[in-house]
Every structure is written in structure tokens, then in C-alpha cells.
Amino acid sequence: MDTREKVKTNGKILISPKRYDDSSSDSEGESEIDLVIDERDSTDVLNNQPPPTFDEVCSIRGQIPRSTIDCSVQFTPHEGASIVKKKDKVKTKCEFKCKFTKWDFLITICSTCIFFFDFIMDIIVAHEYSKHKRWVAFGFTAGFIIVPAVLSNGQSLRWYLIDYEREKKKSIQHPKTVRTPLYVWIFRIIFTFPLMMGPAVRHIEYIYHGIKYKSSKSYKEKKYHYKQMLYEDTDAALVRMFEAFLEAAPQLVLQLFIVITETPNEPFHKHMIRSAAMLGSWIGLSWSLVSYHRALRSMQHLKPTRKPTESNGQPDAQVDIPESQKEAAEEMKLPAVIFYFLWRASEVGPRLVVFALFASQFSYIILIVAGLHWLGMTLWLLCQKTHFYKDDHKHRRRDEVIFNIVLGYTMVFSFLNARDGRTRYRALVYYIVFYAENYVMLMMWVYWTPSKSEWYYFVAIAVVPAGTILHIVFQLFYYKVCHPKKHKIEICPK
């Protein structure tokens, strides 16, 4: 099969390496890519913008399918690339930079425990409300448990179906491809949807592939489990983040609202149960952002390194991976995980407190405020022309819009970067709007609330500015001390 693909841009034929299946690689784990350049005016390859097939780096699910490894060459006009003759070849070899260590194992176990703790505590709180016949509180609490669980696990199940179809199609094209056993698919489906344990199932698969990756002897088997390990980590992080923002965020606002607006004479242990549930929601929401960011960082390791070879005594072209991409592919160390968690916790915590305070005084107007912010963030993401799914995805445009809507909702509570590249100015715009909303809602509550003598009045006034200061401090500390490109980051660039 001809492995070359010619892409015409302004009459010139530019290089366009295709993606390769695992089965097409040899035992050494190497694959060959033909670089085709129009020799009539080869300088255009270095001077023009890269052709459309050179996708930007994007680690959201769907950009790099499980059945392929992305061997695409990325370069910008200022980077060098040797001019090669037709049919010269570049050999690629996957490098396993992401090591499955005891810290990865412990962090995954921690993520699973936080998921179950948050889920179980919310169920206990709902049970307490039903036992005391507080049906309105019970209805909202139960609703914020069931609906998010159905939606997030339904999405996880949909991804399993996509994986199944992709694996089936690949097995037809390559009969020697090893398929996932039927009992594994049954296990995935049962524990994902009826039992609502989608993130836990994917965490288990992540640990399994991590152990198999470390214990495998052959390169091909090692590469397979390495890729599956990273994909399961990313899928688990995405599912858990969606579930946390759909369940933990509104659940925390609801329980704070109940604490502020209702003061029933309840035993001490019931207050402790509700406090534990709120703490679990806060930690779960913040930790889901850590897991998501950590998974995206690890996904950068699927980019292959290039080993120069010789063909007919002549050196082949060498196209190096940009240093920025190499740095971004570094794993998150334990200090980075801690400070990133503190950054996110101090960001979402005060935001949810402000929402609860505003709702306690202005009731359903908070839904209008959150809805307008959601709409604005969704339109902003659409204007950024995000690229979450492959171009050959059957319903790419539809799923792209849906994904933007979902991310727009998460950005009601926290900033998420949806595009590769510098985030300084996008984050600046977001946080200006974010904190303007926080302080306007806080001042409106302070002015109109009749609860100025309550114990939480001065606590609430102190929490929001304190959270703002801690958020900025932890964020700057993370970027200057823990970020892979910390030595290149300027706080106040000229």
C-alpha cells in the first residue's frame, strides 16, 4: 500500500505523513514515513505555513485514536528541516517517557477513593433528608446525584462503543490484530452504566495496563499497554471531571444554600455528615481538575522521537520535536500536583460560596447569572475553533459543538484551556470576568442580606478575598516553581 499522501497548497506538493496502525510496525517498533517534496520549489516547505494535515497538539479524547499512533511531523517556519530527495525515509521510534511508578498508583487509588467518598456521602445526606421528611432538600440532593451519574457514565459508555467499533474495523483491516475479550466488554458495560462506576472502572484499567507495560518484555506489547495506559488515564480524568462539575459543584452550592437559609434544630452528628459531604464535593471537584491536567500532560508522551538513519549512504531528513513540546511532556511531580490542587481549590471554593450566598438572597436569579456565563463561555470556545475530534470523525462538527457546550458549563466554575499554545491572555480575560462576577455578587448580597448578625456573615466576607489572594499566590508559585517551562515564564513580560 502506498503510504504517501500528497497535499496540494497553492500548486505545491507538500509533505503529509499518514498515521499508522500498530500492526504495520515491525518487531523493532519502527515505522517508515516517505516525505514527498516538490523539488521545483522546495524552499516553500520551509517558508510557508504547515499544511492542514499537520494538526496542532491537542490531548482531548478523539484527537489521537487508540488504534493508531500519531507519527505526524510538526514544525514551524522558524525550525530547520533538511531538504531531502523523493522517497527518502525517516524512521520513528516511540519513546516511553511516562513511567508508571508507585506515585502514579497511589494517586490513582486516591482519585478512586475521593470519587467513592463524595458519592457515598451525598447518598447519606439524601437519606438523612428523606428520614426527616425534608422532601424538597431530598429531591434536589438526589437529583444532583442521579442525573450527573447517568450523564457522565452514559458518555463513558458511548466512548466504549466507539472503541468497540474502531477495534472491530481495525480487526477487519488487520486480521492478526488482538481483540479485547468479550468478558472485558461485559465487565465494562455492567460496571459503567447500571452500577455507575465509570471512573473507577477506567482507573482499574489504567492500573492494569500500567503494570502490564512495566512487566512486558517485547517492544510491541510494551507499546500497546503504554498507549492504553495513557488513554485510560485521560478517559478516566475526563469522565470524573464531567461528573464532578455536574454533581459536586451544584451539590456544594445546594448544601451551602440549605445551611444559610435553614436553621433547623438538628443533632451535631447530622451537621457533621453534611459538612463532610460538602468537604468531599469541594475536594472531589478540585482533584478532578488535577487529574485532568495530569492526564493531558502525560498524553504528550505519545509523540514519537525521531532516530536519524541513512538511505543509500545519504543522511535522511531530521525534523526535531520542538523544545516547548518536549518540556510540556514532562510528568507532574508530587510538588506540582500539590500546588496545582491548592490553586484549583482556592479558585472553585470561593466561587461556589459566592453562588450560594447570592442564591440565598436572590433565589433563582443565580440561574440567570450562571446561564449567561455558560452561554458566553460556549460562544468564546466556538470562536476559538477548538479541535477536540479527528477530522475524519463521522459526526465531528456536531460532537465538537456538544463538547464546547460541556466545557462552557465547566468554565462557569473554573478556567480550562481548550487550545494549545500560550494561555496567558486567554486566562487573563477569563479571570477578569470571573472575579468581577464574584465581587459584584458578593457586594449585592452584603448590601441586601438581612442576615448581618449571623455567624457566617463576616466569614463569607472574608472567604472570597482570601480565596482570591491564595488563588493568585498558588497559581504564580506553580508556574514559577513547578511548571516544566518555569525558567522561561516571565510574570511581567516586556
Same-domain pairing of 133 and 25: no
- Is position 330 within any domain? no
Same-domain pairing of 186 and 242: yes
Same-domain pairing of 56 and 134: no
Q: How far apart, in whole angstroms, are the C-alpha atoms of residue 470 and residue 414?
A: 15
Residue 314 burial (CB count, 10 A): 9
Is the pLDDT higher at 422 or at 313?
A: 422
Sign, CA torsion 418/424/427/428: negative
Q: How far apart, in whole angstroms, are the C-alpha atoms of residue 445 and residue 426?
A: 29
Mean pLDDT of 375-395: 77
Same-domain pairing of 411 and 397: yes
The residue with cell 464535593 is 281
- What is the 3-class SS of 266-290, one letter each residue? CCHHHHHHHHHHHHHHHHHHHHHHH
Beta strands in 231-326 (DSSP E): 305-307, 310-311, 314-315
- Is position 483 within any domain? yes
Mean pLDDT of the chain: 76
Percent of the chain with pLDDT over 90: 41
Q: How far apart, in whole angstroms, are the C-alpha atoms of residue 471 and residue 465?
A: 10
Check if the beta carbon of residue 252 is closer than 8 Å to that of residue 352.
Answer: yes
**pTM for the whole thing?**
0.74
Query: For the segment 386-401, what is each residue's pLDDT rounded down to a tens digit?
Result: 776 665 556 667 878 8
Percent of the chain with pLDDT over 70: 69
Same-domain pairing of 168 and 310: no
Q: How far apart, in whole angstroms, are the C-alpha atoms of residue 170 and residue 178?
A: 10
Instruction: Specify the pLDDT at position 421.
Output: 65
Same-domain pairing of 110 and 78: no
Confidence of residue 326 (pLDDT cuts 50, 70, 90): very low
**How many CA atoms are closer than 13 Å to the CA of 479, on its beta-carbon side?**
14
Amino acid making up residue 246? L
Is the pLDDT higher at 108 or at 70?
A: 108
Same-domain pairing of 314 and 268: no
Instruction: Specify the pLDDT at position 174.
Output: 82
Instruction: Specify the pLDDT at position 120.
Output: 95
Same-domain pairing of 276 and 345: no
Instruction: Specify the pLDDT at position 205.
Output: 94
Q: Which residues contact 272 (CB under 8 A, 6 or more apart)?
A: none
The residue with cell 516547548 is 324
Mean pLDDT of 91-105: 72
Mean pLDDT of 405-411: 91
The residue with cell 452514559 is 154
Mean pLDDT of 304-317: 40
Q: How far apart, in whole angstroms, are the C-alpha atoms of residue 483 and residue 480?
A: 7
Same-domain pairing of 285 and 370: no
Q: How far apart, in whole angstroms, are the C-alpha atoms of residue 409 and residue 398?
A: 17
Mean pLDDT of 100-109: 90
What phi, psi does 168 have (nearest 5°)? -65, -45
- Is position 277 within any domain? yes
Instruction: Specify the pLDDT at position 315.
Output: 38
Q: How far apart, in whole angstroms, are the C-alpha atoms of residue 133 and residue 434?
A: 38
Query: For the segment 348-361, what is each residue's pLDDT rounded down to a tens digit?
Result: 999 999 999 999 99
| Number of domains making up the chain | 3
Instruction: Specify the pLDDT at position 401.
Output: 85
SS3 category, 8: strand
Same-domain pairing of 159 and 293: yes
Q: Which domain holds residue 399?
A: 336-494
Please state which of the ranges 154-168, 325-339, 345-359, 429-443 shows the lowest mean pLDDT: 325-339
Instruction: Specify the pLDDT at position 264.
Output: 65
Please state which of the ranges 11-25, 264-278, 301-315 shows the lowest mean pLDDT: 11-25
Residue 143 has pLDDT above 90, yes or no: yes
Instruction: Specify the pLDDT at position 435.
Output: 96
Query: For the segment 37-53, what is each residue's pLDDT rounded down to a tens digit?
Result: 333 343 343 344 443 33
Is the pLDDT higher at 394 or at 28?
A: 394
- Is position 180 within any domain? yes
